[in-house]
Amino acid sequence: MMGTALVITSGKGGVGKTTTTANLGAALALLNKKVCLVDLDLGLRNLDAVLGLQNRIIYTLVDVIQGRAEVKQALIKYPNLKGELYLLPAAQNADKNVLTAQSVKSVVQELKQEFDFVLLDCPAGIETGFENAVAGADGAILVTNPENSAISDADRIVGLLEAKQLEFSPRLIINRIRRHLMNQGGTMSVEEITDHLAIPLLGIVFDDDQVIVTSNKGELVTMKPDTPAAQGYRNIARRMLGDTVPLMAVKEGSSQAQTSADGENSADAEKAASTGSQELTASEKTVATDTTPTASDAQTSDSKSSDSKVSSENGSEETNETPRKASFWSRLFGRHEH
- Residue 211 pLDDT exceeds 90: yes
Residues 40, 22: Cα–Cα separation, whole Å: 13
Of 127, 136, 125, 131, the closest CA to residue 88 belongs to 136
In-domain check, residue 228: yes
In-domain check, residue 252: no
For 15-33, what is the mean pLDDT? 97
DSSP secondary structure of 225-262: TTSHHHHHHHHHHHHHTT---PPPPSSTTPPPP---TT
pLDDT in tens, 107-164: 999 999 999 999 999 998 888 899 999 999 999 999 999 999 999 999 999 999 999 9
Phi and psi angles of residue 272, each rounded to the nearest 5 degrees, phi first: -60, -40
What is the pLDDT, as a whole number, of residue 125? 82
In-domain check, residue 280: no
Give me Rg for the CA atoms of the chain. Answer: 19
- Residue 330 pLDDT exceeds 90: no
In-domain check, residue 332: no
Neighbours of 160 (CB within 10 A): 16
- The CATH number covering residue 176 comes to 3.40.50.300
For 5-10, what is the mean pLDDT? 97
In-domain check, residue 283: no
Amino acid 275 reads: T
- Residue 213 pLDDT exceeds 90: yes
Domain encompassing residue 230: 4-241
**H or E stretch including 177?**
strand 171-177
- Residue 255 pLDDT exceeds 80: no
In-domain check, residue 331: no
In-domain check, residue 94: yes
pTM, entire model: 0.78
Residues 123, 311: Cα–Cα separation, whole Å: 37
Number of domain units in the chain: 1
What is the pLDDT, as a whole number, of residue 254? 57
**Helices and strands (H, E) in the chain, number of each type:** 17, 8
In-domain check, residue 302: no
Of 190, 120, 175, the closest CA to residue 144 belongs to 175
Contacts of 42 (CB under 8 A, 6+ apart): 61, 62, 90, 91, 94, 95, 96, 98, 99, 123, 129
